[in-house]
Chain A
Amino acid sequence: MRALPDILVALVAALTAIAAAAAPTIGRIEPPGAPAGAEVEIRLVGGDLGDPQELFFEEGTIAVTSVTGVDEKTVKATLRVPADCPPGGHRFRIRTRDGLSDLRTFRVGGFEQVQEAEPNDAATTAQIVPLGRTIVGVVKAEDVDCFRVHLPAGGRIAVAVDALRLDQEMFDPHLELVDSRGFVVAACDDHPLLGQDAMLAATVAEEGDYVIRLRESAYGGNDGCVYLVHVGDFPTPHLAWPPAGPPGAELDVEWLGDPGGPFRQKARLPDTVPLDGIAEIHPQREGRTSPVGVPVRVTTAPAAAEAEPNDEPAKATQATAPGGCLGRLDKPEDVDWYRIVAAKGTSWHVRGWGRRLGSPIDLVVNIHRDNEKRERITGNDDTDGPDSAAKVTAPEDGSFLVRVADHLRRGNSDFVYWIEIEPAAPAVMVSVPPGRSNSQERLVAVVPRGNRSAVVFNAMRADCDRAATIACQDLPSGLTATAAPLPSNAPAAPVVFEAAADAPTATALSSIAVKAADDGYLIGNLRQTTELVFGPPNNATYRTSVSDRLPIAIVEPAPIRISVDSPAVPLVRRGSLGLRVRLERFDGFDGKVRLGFPFKPPGVSAPASVEIAGEESEAVYPLNANADAPLGTWQVVVTAAARPKGKDRDDATPLVSTLLVPIEVAEPVVQLAADKASVEQGCETTIVWKVTKPGDFVGAAKARLLGLPAKTEAPELELQPGATELAFPVKAAADAPPGSHPNVFCELRVPRGDAWIVHAMPPTQLRIDTPLPTPAEGSSP
Chain B
Amino acid sequence: MIRQVAWLMAIVVASGLSGTVTADTPYFAITIYPPRAQLDSSNDRQRVVVQARHADGRTVDVTAAAELALSNPKLAAIDKTAGQGILLRPLADGEGTIRAAVGGLVQEIPLKVVSASSPAPLSFRRDVMPVFARAGCNMGSCHGAARGKDGFRLSLFGFDPAGDHHRLTREMPGRRIDLASPRESLLFLKATGQVQHTGGKRCEPDSELAATLVRWIEAGAPDDPGPDPSNSVPKLIALDLYPPAALFEGEGAAQQLVAVARFADGTDRDVTDLAWFASNNDRSAKVSADGMVTSGNRGEAFVMARYDTLTVGVPLVTIPKGLSFTFQSEPALPGATEGAKVIDDLVAAKLASLRMTPAPVCDDEAFLRRVSIDLVGLLPTPADRARFLTDSAPDKRARLVDELIARKEFVEIWVMKWAEILQIRSQGNDVSPKGAILYHQWLDRRIAANEPVDRMVRDLLTASGGTFASPPTNYFQLERNTLKLAENVAQAFLGTRIQCAQCHNHPFDRWTMDDYYGFAAFFAQIGRKRGADPRETIVFDSGSGEVNHPVTGKPAAPKFLGGEAPKVADRDRREALAAWLTSPDNPFFARHVANITWAHFLGRGIVHEPDDARVSNPPVNGPLLDELGRRFAASGWDFRGLVRDIVTSRTYQRSCEPNESNRLDETNFSHALVRRQRAEVLLDVIAQVTDTKNKFPGLPLGARAVQVADGRTTNYFLTTFGRATREDVCSCAVKMDPSLSQALHLLNGDAANDRIRQGGLIDRWLKEGRTPTEIIDELFVRCDCRMPTERERIETLVTVLDSPDRRQALEDVFWALLNSPEFIFNH
Which residues in A have some Cβ–Cβ distance to B below 8 Å?
Answer: 121, 142-144, 172, 189-190, 195-196, 215, 217-220, 355, 362, 381-382, 385-386, 407-408, 535-538, 540-542
Contacts and interface: CB of A to CB of B under 8 A. Distances in A.
Given A142-B699, A218-B436, 13 more contacts: A121-B700, A121-B701, A144-B700, A189-B468, A217-B434, A218-B433, A219-B437, A219-B698, A386-B531, A408-B465, A536-B432, A537-B429, A542-B533
24 contacts: A121-B700, A142-B698, A142-B699, A142-B700, A142-B701, A189-B438, A189-B468, A190-B469, A215-B700, A218-B436, A218-B437, A218-B698, A219-B700, A382-B529, A385-B532, A407-B529, A408-B465, A535-B534, A535-B535, A536-B534, A537-B428, A537-B429, A540-B535, A542-B533
Contacts of B170: none
A172 B535 CA distance: 11
Q: Max chain A CB contacts within 10 Å: which of B432, B433, B532?
A: B532
Contacts of A536: 429, 432, 534-535
Contacts of B437: 217-219
Given A218-B432, A219-B698, A362 B438 contact: no
Nearest to B469: A190
Contacts of A217: 434, 437-438
Give 10 closest A-B pairs by Cβ, nearest first.
A540-B534, A218-B433, A537-B429, A218-B434, A219-B698, A217-B434, A386-B532, A385-B532, A218-B437, A144-B700
Nearest to B465: A408
Contact of A407 (B432, B436, B540, B700): B540
B681 interface: no
A195 B533 contact: yes
Contacts of B530: 382
B707 to A, nearest CB: 11
Contact of A219 (B532, B535, B699): B699
A215 B436 CA distance: 16
Contacts of B465: 408
B464 interface: yes
Contacts of A189: 434, 438, 468
A217 B700 CA distance: 12
A189 B531 CA distance: 15
A408 B534 contact: no
A395 to B, nearest CB: 26
Contacts of B698: 142, 218-220
A664 B699 CA distance: 64
A390 B465 CA distance: 23
Contacts of A538: 429
Nearest to A541: B534
Contacts of A540: 534-535
B715 to A, nearest CB: 14
Interface string B515-552: 00000000000000111111100101000000000000
B205 to A, nearest CB: 58
Interface in B384-404: none
B468 A190 contact: yes
Interface in B647-699: 697-699
Contacts of A535: 534-535
A22 B700 CA distance: 41
Query: What is the interface of chain A mostly: helix, strand, loop, or mixed?
Result: loop
Nearest to B695: A142
A541 B535 CA distance: 11
Contacts of A219: 437, 698-700
A189 B535 CA distance: 14
Contacts of B540: 407-408
A114 B702 CA distance: 28
A407 B434 contact: no
A220 B538 CA distance: 24
A189 B437 CA distance: 11
Interface string B412-432: 000000000000000011001
Contacts of A190: 468-469, 533
A220 B433 contact: yes
Contacts of A382: 529-530
Nearest to B699: A219
Contacts of B529: 381-382, 407
A355 B532 CA distance: 9
Contacts of B699: 142, 219
Contacts of A121: 700-701
Contact of B538 (A196, A362, A542): A362
A535 B536 CA distance: 12
Contacts of A218: 432-434, 436-437, 698, 710
A541 B530 CA distance: 14
A563 B710 CA distance: 59
Contacts of B697: 142
Interface in B602-632: none
A306 B229 CA distance: 60
A576 B87 CA distance: 97
Contacts of B534: 535-537, 540-542
A535 B434 CA distance: 13
A342 B362 CA distance: 85
Contacts of B535: 535-537, 540
Nearest to B710: A218
Contacts of A355: 532
Contact of A172 (B434, B532, B710): B434
A510 B701 CA distance: 52
Interface in B813-827: none
A144 B703 CA distance: 12
Contacts of A386: 531-532
A215 B701 CA distance: 13
B675 to A, nearest CB: 31
Interface in B426-460: 428-429, 432-434, 436-438
Nearest to A381: B529
Contacts of B531: 386
Nearest to B432: A536
B538 to A, nearest CB: 7
B574 to A, nearest CB: 14
B415 to A, nearest CB: 15
A218 B538 CA distance: 19
Contacts of A196: 533
Nearest to A355: B532
A711 to B, nearest CB: 48
A38 B476 CA distance: 50
Contacts of A220: 433, 698
B697 to A, nearest CB: 8
Nearest to A542: B534
A529 B39 CA distance: 85
A408 B464 contact: yes
A338 to B, nearest CB: 24
With most chain B CB atoms within 10 A of its CB, the pick from A215, A362, A540 is A362
Contacts of B432: 218, 536-537
A700 B448 CA distance: 92
Contacts of A542: 533-534
Interface string B762-784: 00000000000000000000000
A408 B538 CA distance: 9
A220 to B, nearest CB: 7
B60 to A, nearest CB: 66
Interface string B110-121: 000000000000
A538 B429 CA distance: 9
A195 B433 contact: no
Contacts of A408: 464-465, 538, 540
Nearest to A385: B532
B429 A407 contact: no
A371 B145 CA distance: 59
Nearest to B438: A189
Given A189-B468, A218-B437, A195 B532 contact: yes
Most buried by A among B432, B465, B534: B534
B447 to A, nearest CB: 15
A541 B700 CA distance: 28
Nearest to B408: A182
